[in-house]
Amino acid sequence: MTLESTVSDGIAIGVESRLLDSKVRIPCLGDDVFRRDRLTELIEQATARPVTMIAAPAGSGKTVACAVWATAKVRSRRVAWLSLDEGDREPARFWASMTAALAIGGTSAVSELVPRSRAGDDDLPADLVVAMRRLSGSVVLVLDDVHVLAGSEVMPGLALLIHNAPAALRLILSGRSLPELHVARMRVAGTLSEVRPADLACTAEEAEGYFAALGLTASAAERDQLLGSVEGWMAGPRLAALIAARDGALSVGAIAADPIVADYLRDEVLDQQPPAVRRFLRRTSVAERLTGDFADWLTGGHGGTRVLDQLSRTGSFVSRDAQGKYRYHPFLRQVLLGELRGGMPEEVPGLFGRAARWHTRDGDAIEAVRCWAETGDWEHASLALTEAGLAGALPDRIGELETALGLFPAARRGAD
């Protein structure tokens, strides 16, 4: 289709391409969108530096946060927007989209660069840098879903623009990860601001307003329980609202296992992974926390550290704690365990047994008992407790110990 737009100063720009108008417009926000002033201010402060990185998993609220900020600021400053998709991996289309977004955002200095047809390997990125240096005033360019460009021929030119952009250009890069953009170099140089997943997480103070926007009726206790179970993930309450609308009531404890949640995580996370990585995720889901060595022990393979590190860097609901251990988001782990039991049932006892032996060797009797309980091997579960000694679990893990003991059959608890 032909995109015809009128930009500032009365300049009419026609772009002969198949771009959808919605790609280069700030997304329209519905009445049910929950606006978080805290994030709007955080993004505004971040744009004091040349590049702002907003990297977080799917459903974290990145696009909404950027759109709310852009809508709030567009009257006082120039804001250009580009929503990326798989088609933008082709350089000619990407740069056409980029220059159109800047032009529609009111940056007339780039109007002569909007191409009717240009080769994908020409010098447009360098030309764009030169053109942006002629800007009067500043413009903020938002690139949304930048992770879709990973591994494409676009990346060298985009990196050139980012690292050589004039002071008048600010960039907000939003996506599940920022591929091949030398993030560490920007951190050291002081040119990068970061809005992290923890910043995007729904706070207790924001939850009440968000629930009201979703039409989700819940008591304070249910709200706190839901927020705890989703760990601040913004899509969690929205999915809970869909489930409650279907069932007529909210059941927080059942949300993690609901097909609506499972379908979302499969679509947005698991289906994006190669088959080998998906098998790795299923097999290692028997562990609540992982190291690379532990993952290799479970799978019988090697390279577990590399796989886990890559997953944690690409917004795949895998996080790394201060001790260097990885964990899967509880909802993702629930889905993976369901796939493991449904699709690879013959491996389940062996995997939990291997995990139990690892924990026993590591002196973690409570985790060993949990794993042995999955296999129904109460002899080994009792032996794990005996060898570790109950004192090793007390006093800081008394609650976990009671839960582990509760896994034993009643007759076994009374006789052992």
Task: Give mean pLDDT, residues 293-320.
Answer: 95
* Residue 291 vs residue 395, higher pLDDT: 291
Tens of pLDDT, residues 82-100: 999 999 999 888 988 888 8
Split at pLDDT 50, 70, 90, the class of 287 is: very high
Tokens of 70: 């852009």
Band of residue 11 on the pLDDT scale cut at 50, 70, 90:
very low
Identify the pLDDT of residue 22: 81
139: β partners: 78, 169
For the chain, what percentages of helix, strand and coil (3-state, to nearest 5) are there?
Answer: 55, 10, 30
Phi first, then psi: what are they for 166, rounded to 5°? Answer: -70, 165
Tokens in use for 134?
Answer: 């002629």
- What pLDDT sits at residue 2? 40
Which pLDDT does position 394 carry in this prediction? 55
Q: Given a cut of 60, is residue 393 above it in pLDDT?
A: no
Please tell me the predicted confidence (pLDDT) of residue 82: 96
pLDDT for the residue numbered 108: 58
Lookup: tokens for 26: 């700030």
The pTM (predicted TM-score) of the whole model is 0.84
For residues 228 and 205, what is the distance between their CA atoms, to the nearest angstrom? 13
Q: What percent of the chain has pLDDT over 90?
A: 51
CA 18 to chain CA centroid, Å, is 29
pLDDT tens per residue across span 104-146? 876 655 555 544 444 545 566 777 777 777 776 788 999 999 9
Query: What value does the mean pLDDT take over residues 275-290?
Result: 96
The predicted model gives 193-205 an average pLDDT of: 93
Average pLDDT in the 317-342 region? 95
Q: Residue 174 above 90 pLDDT?
A: yes
Q: What percent of the chain has pLDDT over 70?
A: 86
Q: What pLDDT is recorded for position 117?
A: 47
Q: Is the dihedral of CA 230, 231, 233, 237 positive or negative?
A: positive
- The amino acid that residue 165 corresponds to is A
Average pLDDT of the residues in 387-392: 58
What pLDDT digit, counting tens, does each position of 235-257 carry? 999 999 999 999 988 888 889 88
> Angle, nearest 10°, between helix axes 330-343 and 348-361?
130
Distance of CA 244 to the CA centre of its chain: 24
Residue 107 pLDDT: 64
Interstrand relation of 318-320 and 326-328 (parallel, antiparallel or unpaired):
antiparallel
Query: How far is 249 from 99, CA to CA, in rounded Å?
Result: 48
Q: What integer pLDDT is reported at residue 122 of this predicted model? A: 57
On average, the pLDDT of the chain sits at 85
Q: How far is CA 405 from the centre of its chain?
A: 36
Whole-angstrom Cα distance, residue 132 to residue 108? 10
Contacts with 337 (C-beta within 8 Å, 6 or more apart), sequence order: 285, 286
pLDDT at 76 over 80: no
pLDDT score for 204: 86
Once rounded to an integer, what is the mean pLDDT over residues 336-362? Answer: 94
How would residue 269 be classed by pLDDT, with cut points 50, 70 and 90? Answer: very high
What's the sign of the alpha-carbon dihedral 83, 89, 92, 93? negative
